[in-house]
């Protein structure tokens, strides 16, 4: 939420002062150089992002939380208690049993979903809400720039074989949207587009991500998905519990929230020090940058703040086999149960400021520090992980200091 403040206690002349955090120290700040109109839309969208829905406004009938901001802590990483369970079977979403996620809350008259109600053999995966800052920049990176780093057959022999997750978008995403649904003679059921959002790069567009988040996470329908989600395996129906007419979210509010998310700036990295410069050299030399590519660049955009910008996200946005230690054994479309999209590393520096001094890393929050996350790497990253372990203590600390300053 705009205006989030941090308390700074200064003992001087018996005075207590408060100072807002610097612009680069927050997750909910706007990109620089927005026009007045873009900034006005950003502010409206910020209000919509934080808006808690009530039953009288369409919440439910089944849901996970009451607002966007309730899951995404200060627009950054979620906590374990904000996580949710995704499920599927062999990559299929099992919509006939209420997929693709468990909605564990319900309004009066409805029945929440329960994990134990799923059919036998269903693949499940606990997921934390991802950060939402910087995703507009990610959306603006040309597909060709991402595919340039793909090496699915490991032709260069470095052990890293990142691949793209090509996904047919939801048919409600307009074709003129980035990653939108396009049907033609060659692909009558929809042309596959590059997935770049979600833990397994299973989402092609921000519009699709936001539409489904409203419906799945809050039970809020929109013009794009005007039909309520239902608990398909409940002993009694739930569709009658929500009596608010659909669609429940005004299109103007949806568009403002979508624009707000697109215009969120990533936090600024920390200042470089000699130790961090050494850590950056080690980051490159042990192979971390093979997947965590330091910088990509956006292409042309109708929003000048998004056009031709360097994006220091430390990710190639591709799928990688991360081994048994990180496997959730759940397919997500074409992504296997061992594959994950390379997680961007930006925003780690101020992370703990908004999580009560804690850290929740990886898809499920199981790593509570950057070092723990590295040590869980396997598969394609096994060699890099081993190279990190082989470093001397001071070198490991320098590398970790660099990563945690991003």
Burial class from Cβ neighbours inside 10 Å (0-12, 13-18, 19+) for residue 292 reads buried
Q: Which bin fits 75, alpha (ψ -120 to 50), beta or left (φ > 0)?
A: left
pLDDT of amino acid 236: 61
Burial class from Cβ neighbours inside 10 Å (0-12, 13-18, 19+) for residue 185 reads exposed
- On whether the CB atoms of residues 172 and 226 are closer than 8 A, the answer is no
> Partners of 393 in the beta sheet?
none
Average model confidence (pLDDT) for the chain? 91
pLDDT of amino acid 66: 97
**What is the per-residue pLDDT across 116-171, written as a single tens digit (0 to 9) for each?**
988 888 999 999 999 999 999 999 999 999 999 999 999 998 999 999 999 999 99
Instruction: Answer yes or no: is pLDDT of 2 > 90.
Output: no
Using CA atoms, how far apart are residues 210 and 223, in angstroms rounded to an integer?
Answer: 12
pLDDT, average across residues 288-295: 97
pLDDT, average across residues 260-285: 98
For 32-189, list the strands marked E by DSSP: 62-63, 84-88, 105-106, 123-127, 165-167
The two beta strands, 84-88 and 123-127, are antiparallel
pLDDT of amino acid 351: 92
**What is the per-residue pLDDT across 52-107, written as a single tens digit (0 to 9) for each?**
999 999 999 999 999 999 998 788 887 888 899 999 887 777 777 777 899 999 99
**What is the per-residue pLDDT across 316-358, written as a single tens digit (0 to 9) for each?**
999 999 999 999 999 887 899 999 999 999 999 999 988 888 8
The domains of the chain are located at 36-135+203-262
Burial of 82-102, coded b for 16+ CB within 10 Å and e otherwise, reads bbbbbbbbeeebbeebbbbbb
User: Residue 19 — very low, low, confident or very high, per pLDDT cuts 50/70/90?
Assistant: low
Q: How many CB atoms lie within 10 A of CB 308?
A: 11
Determine phi and psi for 92, rounding to 5 degrees: -80, 145
């Amino acid at each position: 939420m705009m205006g989030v403040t941090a308390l700074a206690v200064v003992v001087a002349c018996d005075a207590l002062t408060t100072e807002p955090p610097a612009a680069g120290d927050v997750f909910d700040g706007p990109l620089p150089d927005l026009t007045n109109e873009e900034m006005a839309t950003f502010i409206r969208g910020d209000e919509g992002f934080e808006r808690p829905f009530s039953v009288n406004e369409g919440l439910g009938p089944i849901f996970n939380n009451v607002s966007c901001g309730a899951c995404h802590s200060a627009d950054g990483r979620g906590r374990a208690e904000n996580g949710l369970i995704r499920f599927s079977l062999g990559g299929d979403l099992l919509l006939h049993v209420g997929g693709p996620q468990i909605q564990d809350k319900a309004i009066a008259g409805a029945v929440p979903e329960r994990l134990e109600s799923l059919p036998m053999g269903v693949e499940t995966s606990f997921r934390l809400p991802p950060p939402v800052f910087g995703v507009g920049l990610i959306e603006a990176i040309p597909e060709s720039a991402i595919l340039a780093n793909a090496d699915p057959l490991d032709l260069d022999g470095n052990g890293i074989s990142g691949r793209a997750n090509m996904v047919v978008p939801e048919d409600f995403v307009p074709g003129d949207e980035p990653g939108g649904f396009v049907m033609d003679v060659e692909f009558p059921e929809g042309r596959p587009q590059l997935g770049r959002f979600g833990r397994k790069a299973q989402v092609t567009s921000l519009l699709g991500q936001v539409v489904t988040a409203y419906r799945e996470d809050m039970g809020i329908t929109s013009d794009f998905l005007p039909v309520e989600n239902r608990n398909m395996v409940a002993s009694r129906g739930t569709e009658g519990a929500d009596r608010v007419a659909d669609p429940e979210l005004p299109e103007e509010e949806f568009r403002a929230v979508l624009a707000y998310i697109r215009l969120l700036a990533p936090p600024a990295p920390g200042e470089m020090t000699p130790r961090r410069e050494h850590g950056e050299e080690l980051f490159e030399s042990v192979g971390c940058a093979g997947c965590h590519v330091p910088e990509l660049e956006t292409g042309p955009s109708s929003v000048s703040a998004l056009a031709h910008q360097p994006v220091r996200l430390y990710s190639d946005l591709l799928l990688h086999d991360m081994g048994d230690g990180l496997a959730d054994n759940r397919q997500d479309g074409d992504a296997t149960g061992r594959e994950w999209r390379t997680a961007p590393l930006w925003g780690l520096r101020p992370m703990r400021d908004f999580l009560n001094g804690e850290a929740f890393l990886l898809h499920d929050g199981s790593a509570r520090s950057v070092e723990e996350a590295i040590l869980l790497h396997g598969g394609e990253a096994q060699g890099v992980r081993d190279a990190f372990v082989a470093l001397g203590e001071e070198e490991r600390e320098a590398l970790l200091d660099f990563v945690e300053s991003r």
